[in-house]
Amino acid sequence: MARPKTVYLCQQCAHEAAKWLGQCPACGAWNTLVETVRVERPSPRSSSGNAVRGGGGAFGETWATLAENQDAGSSRRVSVPVSLGHVNPDEAPRRTSGIGEFDRVLGGGIVPGALMLIGGDPGIGKSTLLLQVAARVASGGSRVLYVSGEESARQVRLRASRLGALEPSLFVLAETNVEAASAAISRLDPTMVVVDSIQTMWSDALASSPGNVAQLRESTLRLMQVAKARDIPIFLIGHVTKEGNVAGPRALEHMVDAVLYLEGERYYSYRLLRAAKNRFGSTNEVGVFEMTTDGLAEVTNPSAAFLAGRVARQPGSIVTAPVEGTRALLVDVQALTVPGGIGIARRTAIGADLNRLQLLVAVLTRRLGLGLGAQDIYVNVAGGLKIVEPAVDLAVAFALVSSFQEIAIDDGTVVVGEVGLQGELRPVGQVERRLAEAARLGFTRCILPAGDVDRITGGRAKRSTLRPDSETSKGSERQASIMWEGMSLNGALTVGEAVVEAFGAGALRRSHSSGGRDGPSGEDRGDVGARGGRVRHGLAASMHDVSDFDGDDA
Ligand code: TYD
Ligand code: MG
């Protein structure tokens, strides 16, 4: 006879308590314990002691039940340790998903028996992507099962016809009960299964509602059992929710073999698929997709895609080469500086880190004497890509200088480097990869930290001894560059040196000539803003400018 047992389960850490508590004693979160009723089936093993419970709490028991069902009637399986050298090293053959970018992220294809979690914000395209993958695998004639807990079979069919994914061997099952889904998997014996989504699944063994962390883990364990026992790869779709107390895929990360995240700005068309964990390949590998009306399309040349639409020789636009996973991308970093109005100047960063932008503004103001203090500043990474790598610092700094001074950089120049608080350029690593990508897209010059040039050329490069304010720098700077695989490399030690290299000494002189280094006081800023003057360089000197204005006005 099954008898129900009530426990209180923390929705954050799955700690199990016998009574309700305001704060979880294990993780310290407040108000996360939820009453969970579990149906325990008495069995000879669990009644004869705790031998198979193994300290797994609620889940240990589940395991016991599953193990029992598996070898019902047979005697207990005996596990024998094997010397590591005797383990068969041959990798199980991977199955291609038919979508190159998807295989790339998985580490070269789908591994049989793997349990994989695809996370992402609602509406980002998870169902679309997995339905496409399911259809591609099914198009080879092998059976694929799409378990839909969110949409009806009809809705899935409509989506499939829109995506051109109506394959005869692609099966759909509208089901939220995990035992029923497992049974269907056993009957159909497909080569791959997609479960959309794991949050909608619930198990008979628990009386709590779907989406609850206990249900989530229970359902995942059941599906893991099926995947391992039948050697079927299973993809679980999971929503990432902003509130930690709603059980999200994070609670499952350690249970599955691979965790992929589909990311992107909702209103841009590019989507990145990233591996956050992968037992069968490297992590941080990235696949790039573009959203179209026919579903997600692979972007095999992302750099070209991200640079499409860029207007060359435009002030405030700089190309840089961040590395995503093992691949370098080229992106256009744009900045716009506008004299601010009254009050605190505005700083906006889209696709770049706002804190780093503020740091760069401070460095440029202090080290190069640019009067950015009173400017409203907007930075945008074109294409909706989010870049967190500090290697884009120099490009952001250049975009600011370029917009502020209204001077454009030459067409063929790409820029990488991390900027420190002293204005020094720090090496970024993986330079060869970045340069190769830039060269492939026709760029001919790279401005980068001297340390990186030294490393890749083995110290052969002779650095120039330019000073930012040197009158002759324009003429001599070319000597500083060395050729490397068709690219001309300009190594610089400081951001000032790099700016002179890129734009000439004039980029700094104009701001120097207009005076002060530390930006205007609030009062000056207000004055200039209120006058709505045209772009005036070096607002730091605005006291002087303001009196000019007064003269004009009078
Ligand atoms: P969907 O796959 O349902 O997102 P998720 O499963 O992550 O919640 O996609 C959301 C919507 O976007 C859906 O209405 C279909 C649409 N869409 C396209 O039209 N084209 C595409 O390439 C993608 C990915 C989505
Ligand atoms: Mg969906």
> What Å distances lie between residue 36 and 216, 218, 382, CA to CA?
13, 12, 48
Q: Is the CB of 83 under 6 A from ligand 1?
A: no
- Residue 311 one-letter amino acid: V
Residue 72 is predicted with a pLDDT of 44
- Report the share of the chain in percent with pLDDT over 70: 78
- Predicted local distance difference test score (pLDDT) of residue 456: 86
- Is the CB of residue 126 below 6 angstroms from any atom belonging to ligand 1? yes
Range picked from 17-26, 86-95, 168-177, 299-308 for highest mean pLDDT: 168-177
Q: What is the pLDDT confidence band of residue 161, given thresholds at 50, 70 and 90?
A: very high
Helices 393-405 and 354-367 pack at an angle, to 10 degrees, of 60
**Closest by alpha carbon to 502, among 433, 411, 419?**
411
* In the block, residue with structure tokens 């530390």: 518
Report whether pLDDT(485) > 90.
Answer: no
- Indicate whether 288 pLDDT > 70: yes
CB 263 within 8 A of CB 274: yes
Contact predicate 107/278, CB 8 Å = yes
Judging by DSSP bridges, how do beta strands 375-381 and 33-40 pair with one another? unpaired
307-337 pLDDT tens trace: 888 888 889 999 999 998 778 889 999 999 9
Contact 16, 27 (CB under 8 A): no
Q: How confident is the model at residue 509 (pLDDT cuts 50, 70, 90)?
A: low
Q: Give the closest ligand to the alpha carbon of residue 199.
A: 2
Band of residue 68 on the pLDDT scale cut at 50, 70, 90: very low
Q: Give pLDDT tens digits for 109-130.
A: 999 999 999 988 888 899 999 9
**Cα-flanking dihedrals φ and ψ of residue 22, to 5°?**
-70, -35
Distance (angstroms) between ligand 1 centre and the Cα of 122 equals 9
pTM: 0.71
Tokens of 303: 């750099």
The residue to which tokens 């500086």 are assigned: 337
Burial 328-359 (b: 16+ CB within 10 A, else e): bbbbbbbbbbebbbeeebebebebbbeebbeb
Amino acid found at 441: L
For 366-443, strand residue ranges (E) read: 375-381, 413-415, 418-419, 425-426
Answer whether 124 contacts ligand 1 (Cβ < 6 A).
yes
What is the number of the ligand closest to the CA of 197? 2
Which residue's structure tokens are 């305001």? 22
Q: How many other β-carbons are positioned within 10 Å of the β-carbon of residue 456? A: 18
If one counts every other C-beta atom within 10 angstroms of the C-beta of residue 293, the result is 6
Q: Ligand 1 pocket check: which of 128, 161, 270 to mutate, most ligand atoms within 8 Å of Cβ?
A: 128
Grade residue 460 by pLDDT with cuts at 50, 70 and 90.
low
Instruction: Lowest mean pLDDT of 181-195, 242-256, 469-483, name the range.
Output: 469-483
Among 79-93, 186-200, 267-281, top mean pLDDT goes to: 186-200
The owner of tokens 């590395």 is 323
Which of the ligands is closest to the CA of residue 129? 1
- Give all strands of the β-sheet with 33-40 in edge-to-edge order: 16-17, 3-10, 33-40
**pLDDT tens-digit series, residues 104-114:** 899 889 999 99
Closest CA to 206 of 38, 394, 10: 38
Quickly count: other Cβ atoms within 10 Å of residue 77's Cβ. Answer: 9
* Cβ atoms of residues 13 and 26 within 8 Å: yes
Pairing of strands 192-196, 234-239: parallel
- Ligand 2 is an ion; its neighbours by CB within 5 Å are 127
CA-closest candidate to residue 274, choices 428, 129, 95: 129
**Residue 125 Cβ contacting ligand 1 at under 6 Å:** yes
CA of 261 to the centre of ligand 2 (A): 14
Per-residue pLDDT, 469? 43
At 176, list the tokens: 């939220």
Binding site membership of 238 for ligand 1 (Cβ less than 6 Å):
no
Beta strands in 98-257 (DSSP E): 115-120, 144-148, 170-174, 192-196, 234-239
- Mean pLDDT, to the nearest integer, of 150-161? 93
More confident residue, 190 or 213: 190
Q: Is 164 in the pocket of ligand 1 (CB under 6 A)?
A: no
Let me know: does 441 contact 484? Beta carbons within 8 Å: no
- Report whether residue 74 contacts ligand 1, using a CB cutoff of 6 Å: no
Q: Which residues pair with 280 in a beta bridge?
A: none
In this predicted structure, the answer to whether residue 544 has a pLDDT above a threshold of 90 is: no
pLDDT tier, 446 (very low <50, low <70, confident <90, very high otherwise): very high
Ligand 1 centre distance from Cα of residue 125 (Å) = 4
Of 405 and 311, which is predicted with more confidence? 405
Total residue count of the chain as it appears in this document: 554
Q: Dihedral angle at the C-alpha atoms of 328, 91, 70, 116, nearest 10 degrees?
A: 10
Q: Is the pLDDT of residue 87 over 90?
A: no
Q: How far apart are CA 213 and CA 59, in angstroms?
A: 12
- On the question of pLDDT at 532 being above 70, the answer is no
- Kindly report the protein residue whose alpha carbon is nearest to atom 21 of ligand 1: 295
DSSP letter string over 272-336?
EEEEEEETTS-SS-EEEEEEETTEEEE-S-HHHHHHTT--SS-TTEEEE--EETTEE--EEEEEE
